[in-house]
Amino acid sequence: MMRWIALAVALVSPVAAGTLEGRLVTFTVETWDDRAAPLLVARGRTVAVGQGTEFGLDREGLTGGLDVVPVDVEIGPTRIELSYPKGIGRFYEAKFNGYVLRFETDCALFQKVAVDPVGTTMMVTDVWAETGALYINVSGLGYGPAATLALDVEVADCPLS
């Protein structure tokens, strides 16, 4: 009887191989010219990737003259989409002004990251991964209700943390 119960539990456990689905992720906004002395680090929010919009950030209030631009972030199994439903403007220019998505893992989670030109209206060219983190630099770019960014990612077979 015990063997059957253990087998049933193993079959319904979430499988994370090659997907972002079910992973814990912390999303934050950072602005810096020197990474060791950031101008802004917004409050991070942590969720498990699932169905629908994972993050709907709104303004947090000025910090050193900077604030968060409202953004919606939807994370799929191998895709990340950002949109800007509120306001219109241009992002503050800095060496890095953008988003950091930190997934709870110690392995190199992203094998490839590519901007999807069909699903993107913004001229984002500076996107990179470090271990389980993905950095998206939007410094100096325009945003508004028509602005979108879509990233296709190839996810490594990293265990869930």
pTM of the model: 0.85
Would you say residue 8 lies in a domain?
no
Query: Has residue 7 been placed in a domain?
Result: no
Count: domains in the chain? 1
- In order along its 161 residues, the chain shows pLDDT tens digits of 444 433 333 333 344 458 999 999 999 999 999 999 999 999 889 999 998 889 988 888 888 888 889 999 999 999 999 999 998 999 999 999 999 999 998 888 999 999 999 999 999 999 999 989 999 999 999 999 999 999 999 999 887 65
Range of the domain at 60: 16-155
Query: Is residue 99 domain-resident?
Result: yes
Are residues 150 and 79 in contact, defined by beta-carbon separation less than 8 angstroms?
yes
Collapse the DSSP code of 23 into the 3-class scheme (helix H, G, I; strand E, B; otherwise coil) and give the result. Answer: coil
CB atoms within 10 A of CB 99: 23
Contact 127, 134 (CB under 8 A): yes
Residue 113: per-residue pLDDT: 95
| Residue 109 φ/ψ, nearest 5 degrees | -70, -40
